[in-house]
Structure 1
Amino acid sequence: MGDQGAFGGYSKGKGNGKRMRVGAVRGAASTGKGEGKAFETKEAERTYWLEAAKNGQLQWASAKERRADPEIVLEAVRSSERGTAFRFADAALRADRDFVLRAMEGCGREALLQYADEALKRDKDFVMQAITQCCGDALTYADDALRRDKEFVKEAVRQKAFALRCAARSMQADREIVLEALKASLDALDHADPVLFGDRGFMFEAVQQEGLALMYASDDLKADSALVLAAVKSNGHALSHAKGGLQANREIVLEAVRESANAIRCAADACRADRVVVLAALRQQRQQFRSLPGILSHLRRCRDDPKSRGKGWRGYTVLVHVPWSFRDDPGFMLAAAREYGLAIADASERITRDRNLVFEAVRRDGEALEFAHKELQSDPELQPQRVAQNHVAGKGLEAPTFMVAAAARMPGGGLEITMARMSGETAIFKFEDDDTFGNLASAVATHFKVEGGLVHLLAAGEVVPPLDISRPLSAMAMADVGDKKTCAAGGDEEGAATTGEELARQ
């Protein structure tokens, strides 16, 4: 048996392994005359015993004055495993509420409560303070009546969830108490009565509190679609515990990825190949990305130093969990980039070289430019600040369409352009000779108070792409020198409007 600390322990001797009574401390202690040693003063004797207590290698003195000395007892308690040296303290100290709580300060000393006076073990306020100050395991040493007291146990698990494992069995099967413990820690369910895990009503309440509680449910309940749906709405990763083919249930998987993007890795192959599911996951991942300020630095480290990625690292976004064909599909990646710009970090090389697609990624998230092909990273039109000032909507993006109804060079210099909305509403704008389509888009979005600030532009029947904003307006107006002339798609207004809307959608 090993050393039991300053309160009368034994220490295993060397050689023959027999137990030996431990003497004193350091030089003086080697004489083995701890209690009978002569001291010049009382203070010197007390200092000796304090030092012995600190080192945990002293047979506890028989003198009551040392057993009742708070400082010596505290040193002995702190030097012994889990504070068990408290058993040798004087009865007065073991009944002293404040002293016992002081002795319990620090982790792992809850066991000394078993040596406290019986009256303290029955004292609700004292035991609750011990649980709050130390840990839930302190309940182990409380009077049995307290461990069966529902209101007391409920408050105990509210303070420390793991008090549940020390409560009476009847309390571990009490739904109200277990749910209270679950609020503090999912792991508290390790100590609940397993009968509860087959109770559908209980499990519904549990998964609504914490979706991952589904892992404790019976197999039948893990295959219950309503229960699993409730669980993934609370925590998307609960999908990993679903059974009965529910990981292939589109409705359930969609709810899971809307709550947590990476839940897609738990979905069946069919759902991971579903574009709607993947785009929903990317949308959610962007929200998570924006709420974690340190994530971009992490992604940069992973990109620049493969060793920092760590074992099991697969990529930057949920796209690593979907078929490779998605990551090389321009149509899908355009939609993906509009949901989450950093999606291009996991795209094929040819996607990262696509100037229009990279533009859309940067428009969504300026940091995406860092993950574009190096050839595009210095492109002036793709710089985040420049993209943010671009008011021209990209291909297929939902935005109002405006067409150039007329354009002319003014006699005194400058340009006058009439813009028409598809509804027929018009407005006249004046520009300098060196103004561009970018200036036109900005003026139109501002004048018509376009929500979101993006517009489709039609000039001479053609859609103006976002990357053409540097093209001068004068090139268009030069074809219409003299009187103001139309340069719309041609034909009647209704036909032009129809054509414009169709072109913008393409």
Structure 2
Amino acid sequence: LAAVALDGQALKRVAPEHRADREIVLAAVKSNWGAWRHASADIQSDRDIMLELIRQCPFNFERVGSELRRDRGFVLEAVKTNPDLLCDGYQNEEDFIAELEEFLGDQSHLNPQKREENRESYRCRLGPDRAADESDVGDDECGDCDSRFWHSLKRDPAFMLEVVRGRGADLRRAEGGLRGCRELVLEAVRQDGAALQFAARELRCDPELQPDRVRQNRLAG
């Protein structure tokens, strides 16, 4: 345990039974997430181990199994662990895909189906922002189950409230009219005054939601 805690890659040199030990693997992954590759297949999909991978790099979400990818509690915890899971620091989906493929070291450019999966990951998690007052796509337009799941989360007031408490700018991800929800916008502005720009048009000029007023009320409260 001490050895892998100091050097996660030491996991590849330990006995097979230790590579299936959750405590040892988690310690190794905390030291170096790349050690995950040397863990037993049975332990690689462990919830806490996957969260640790995501904490270190949001691209590791692509390694999560389908069951956890559609687990609301896990996804919320993953977003809290690393808000960059919803970050769109890419000019377009091609930039995202290129960086993702380089990170994963896969050959998606040789596999059209895999590349389309990567595109879908971008579209449903990070996709292009919609105008605050624009109608969202219907369920029949969402594509596969992953996409429908993400759209349902971004329309879930309780889920998005937890998200903006971690990073206000992720208000831009809210769908289904939630950017017109005063409570959600207020929470986002409390975390980041600049988040007001992502609110519905009718709320952007609300005196009580202006960053200076929100800050004053918080200090007074």
TM-score normalised by the shorter chain: which range applies?
Answer: 0.5 to 0.7
Provide the residue aligned with 2:4 in structure 1.
157
Deviation at 1:269, TM superposition (A): 5.4
- 2:51 aligns with 207
1:258 maps to 165
Q: What residue in structure 2 maps to residue 484 of structure 1?
A: none
Alpha-carbon displacement from aligned partner over 1:3-35 (angstroms, at most 9, x marks no partner): xxxxxxxxxxxxxxxxxxxxxxxxxxxxxxxxx
Superposition pairs of residues 371-390 of structure 1, within 5 angstroms: none
Aligned-partner SS, 1:262:
helix
Work out the number of aligned pairs and report it. Answer: 158
**What's the counterpart of residue 230 of structure 1?**
77
- Equivalent in 17, 25, 35 of residue 178 of structure 1: 25
Q: Within 2, Cα distance between the matches of 1:283 and 1:162?
A: 41
TM-score in terms of structure 1 length: 0.26
CA deviation after TM superposition for structure 1 residue 179, in Å: 1.1
CA displacement, residues 120-179 of structure 1 (integer Å, 9 cap, x when unaligned): xxxxxxxxxxxxxxxxxxxxxxxxxxxxxxxxxx22221123333555655444322221
Between Structure 1 and Structure 2, whose CA radius of gyration is higher?
1
The structure whose RCO (Cα within 8 Å, separation 6+) is larger is 2
Q: Does 2:63 match 1:216?
A: yes
- Contact (CA 8 Å) 2:180, 2:202: kept in 1 or not? no
Change (3 A) 1:231 1:326: same
Deviation at residue 191 of structure 1 after TM alignment: 4.5
- Correspondence for 1:369: none
- Aligned 8 A contact 2:29 2:49 in 1: no
CA deviations on 1:12-68 (whole Å, 9 max, x unpaired) are xxxxxxxxxxxxxxxxxxxxxxxxxxxxxxxxxxxxxxxxxxxxxxxxxxxxxxxxx
AA aligned to 1:280 is E
Structure 2 vs 1, CA of residues 217 and 157 (structure 1 numbering), >3 Å: closer, same or farther?
Answer: same
1:394-425 Cα offsets, whole Å, 9 max, x none, are xxx79xxxxxxxxxxxxxxxxxxxxxxxxxxx
Q: Which aligned pairs between 1:75-474 and structure 2 lie closer than 5 A?
A: 154-165=1-12, 167=14, 170-198=17-45, 202-204=46-48, 206-207=50-51, 211=55, 212=58, 214-238=61-85, 243=146, 244=149, 245-268=152-175, 270-285=177-192, 317-327=194-204, 330-331=205-206, 334-337=207-210, 340-341=211-212, 360=213, 364=216, 452=220
Distance 1:281 1:335, change over 3 A: same
Letter in 2 for 1:216: R
Counterpart Cα distance in 2 of 1:204 and 1:160:
19
- Report the 3-state secondary structure (helix = DSSP H, G, I; strand = E; otherwise coil) of the residue aligned with 2:47: helix
Deviation of 1:218 after TM superposition, in Å, equals 0.7
Letter in 1 for 2:160: V
Q: Contact 1:264–1:281 (CA<8 Å) still a contact in 2?
A: yes
Partner of 1:310: none
Task: Name 1:99's counterpart in structure 2.
Answer: none
Kindly tell me: are residues 248 and 196 of structure 1, through their superposed partners in 2, closer, same or farther at Cα, counting changes over 3 Å? farther
Q: Deviations over 1:209-238 (max 9, x none)?
A: 965565432122111112223333433344
Gaps of 5+ in 1: 1-153, 287-316, 342-359, 365-396, 399-450, 454-506
Asked if the contact 1:179–1:206 (Cα under 8 Å) also holds between the matched residues in 2, the reply is no
Relative distance call for 1:253 and 1:452 in structure 2 (3 A) is: closer
Q: Please, which runs of 5 or more residues in structure 2 have no aligned partner?
A: 88-120, 126-145
TM-score, normalised via structure 2 length: 0.52
Is the Cα–Cα contact under 8 Å of residues 25 and 36 in structure 2 kept in the other structure? yes
The CA distance in 1 between the partners of 2:76 and 2:9, in whole Å, is 28
Following the alignment from structure 2 to structure 1, what is the Cα–Cα distance between the partners of residues 174 and 34?
A: 25
Distance 1:452 1:278 in 2: 20
Looking at structure 1, the residues matched to 49 and 5 of structure 2 have their Cα atoms a distance apart, in angstroms, of 17
Provide, for residues 350-376 of structure 1, a one-character-per-residue CA deviation record: whole Å limited to 9, x for no partner: xxxxxxxxxx47x74xxxxxxxxxxxx
Note the alpha carbon deviations across 1:271-308, whole angstroms, 9 max, x for none.
4443322221221226xxxxxxxxxxxxxxxxxxxxxx
Kindly provide the amino acid, as one letter, of the partner of residue 196 in structure 2.
L
Per the TM alignment, residue 265 of structure 1 is displaced from its structure 2 partner at its CA by: 4.1
Deviation track 1:221-270 (CA, whole Å, cap 9, x = no partner) reads 11111222333343334457874232332222211221233343444454
Contact 1:239/1:256, CA 8 A, preserved across alignment: no
Structure-2 change in CA distance of 1:326 and 1:160 (3 Å): farther
Q: 1:188 offset after TM fit, Å?
A: 4.1
- C-alpha offsets along residues 308-357 of structure 1, whole Å, 9 cap, x if unaligned? xxxxxxxxx22344445543xx22xx2222xx33xxxxxxxxxxxxxxxx
Task: Flag the structure with higher helix content.
Answer: 2
Q: RMSD of the TM alignment (CA)?
A: 3.9
Query: C-alpha distance in 2, partners of 1:163/1:182?
Result: 11
- Quick check: 1:272–1:323 contact (8 Å CA) kept in 2? yes
What is residue 353 of structure 1 aligned with on the other side?
none
CA distance in 2, matches of 1:187, 1:275: 42
